Each structure stands twice: as structure tokens, then as C-alpha cells.
Amino acid sequence: MFHKTSIVASRARASRRGALGKGCIIGAGVAGALVFVLVIFAAICAGKYNGFVAGKERVAQEWAKIDNQYKRRYDLIPNLVETVKGAANFEKSTLEAVTDARASVGRAQLPEKLPTDPQQLQAYIQAQQQLSGALSRLFAVAENYPQLKSSQNFLSLQDQIEGTENRIAVARNDYIEAVRSFNTSIETFPGNIIAGMFNFTRIPQLETPAEEKKNPKVEFNFENKK
């Protein structure tokens, strides 16, 4: 009787050990699967995060290109105005429009780094567009002044400003594409979740005037250059 009881007890203990062993194996499998999922998630997070950082840096670089060209044009204007003043009876209102537009640009300066305020960005761009319009008007009026058309200093400034305008148009398009790509990356799944975790937000988009979309090359219609 005692022998039979011992056998039964031994089998029971073996059964419990087997159950515990199976439970440990299953638990280890679940833990392993969970670790695997966490590793994959961490890898996705790291990849997305690095992509967001690279995308934002690209936007910043494209903005710097625009801003540098705007500043170059801004610095060329005083010399242009002084040169035009030398032409007898040049339209005072046209010169004043250029001077005033340049002053508006100076008042609307953005922070050195990437612009993040949509209203501030819009005001800055509008000021720059007004300056472009004033310059276009000045060069159109200059067609009526042979003294300017024969001035090498004036022609050189005209060439530099026209080239700057064209580079601005190209840089603006590159910036718009960079912003579009970045904003899309943080708004689509699973990027939107990861972007929220690390506080990546939309970058204000830059609107390109319809005429620049059709033809980014800027011409001031200055003919008969020498």
C-alpha cells in the first residue's frame, strides 16, 4: 500500500514539474516575442526619428539658401539706387517705391534659423514680393533713360539682381518640396505617432505665386544691353 502511494506521489510531482516546465517554456516564448516586438518598435522609432531630424535639417538648409539670396539682393539695392539717382529726372516715385519696399523687408526680418510662425513668414514673404515688384518697375522705367542703358555699373547691378531673382525662385521651389516631404512624413502612419512622441510639428509652408510656378526664370525686360 505504501509502495503504491509513493508511486502515485512521485507521478504527481513529476506531473507538476512537467506542467511547470511547460509553463516556463511558454512564458519564455511570450517574453521572447515581446522583446522581439519591442526591439522592432525601437528600430522603427530610431529610423523615423533620424528621418525626421534629417528632413528638418534639409528644410533648414533650403531656407538658408532662400534667405542668403534675399540678403544678397537687399545689399545690392543701395548701390543700385545711388546709380539710378545719377540719371537726370529719373522718376522719383519709382525710386521711393524701391527704397520703401527695402525698408519693409528690413522690418520683417525673420529669426536666423528656420521660420516657425506662419504669420511672420507670410509677412516676410509679402515684403520680399513687394520688393521684387518695385525692382521690376524700376528696370522697366530705366528703359526710357539712355544714360542708364549705357552705364556699365547699372548694367552690372541689373545682371546681379536678375540672377539673384532667378536663384530665389529656384530656392523657393526646393524649400517648398523639402517642407512638403517633411510634413508628409510626420503626418502619415506610423510617423505621426512617433512624431507626437518626440514633439515634431508641421513646418509652415511657403506659397509660390502662380507666375513663378509656370516660369521660375525672372526677366526684367531690359533690352539692348551693352
3-state secondary structure 126-186: HHHHHHHHHHHHHHHHHHHCHHHHCCHHHHHHHHHHHHHHHHHHHHHHHHHHHHHHHHHHH
- The predicted structure's pLDDT at residue 86: 85
Determine the number of helices (DSSP H) and then strands (DSSP E) in the chain: 7, 0
Q: Which three cell numbers stand for residue 47?
A: 529610423
- The predicted structure's pLDDT at residue 113: 77
Q: What is the pLDDT of residues 13-26, one digit of tens each?
A: 555 555 555 555 66
- The predicted structure's pLDDT at residue 144: 92
In a domain, 89, yes or no: yes
- Residue 213, pLDDT above cutoff 70: no
In a domain, 221, yes or no: no
- The predicted structure's pLDDT at residue 208: 60
C-alpha distances in Å from residue 70, one per residue of 15, 76, 126, 172, 182: 82, 10, 13, 11, 23
- Residue 195, pLDDT above cutoff 80: yes
In a domain, 111, yes or no: yes
- The predicted structure's pLDDT at residue 186: 96
Task: Please state, as a whole number, how many other Cβ atoms lie within 10 Å of the Cβ of residue 149.
Answer: 18
In a domain, 106, yes or no: yes
In a domain, 101, yes or no: yes
In a domain, 9, yes or no: no
Query: Shortest CA distance to 99 belongs to which of 124, 74, 66, 68?
Result: 74
- Residue 223, pLDDT above cutoff 60: no
- The predicted structure's pLDDT at residue 28: 65
- The predicted structure's pLDDT at residue 190: 87
C-alpha distances in Å from residue 90, one per residue of 61, 64, 80, 86, 189: 40, 35, 13, 8, 60
In a domain, 16, yes or no: no
Backbone angles phi, psi at 133, to 5 degrees: -65, -40
- The predicted structure's pLDDT at residue 201: 94
Task: Give residue 71's domain range.
Answer: 59-214
In a domain, 110, yes or no: yes
The number of folded domains in the chain is 1
CATH of the domain at 89: 1.20.1440.20
pTM, full prediction: 0.77
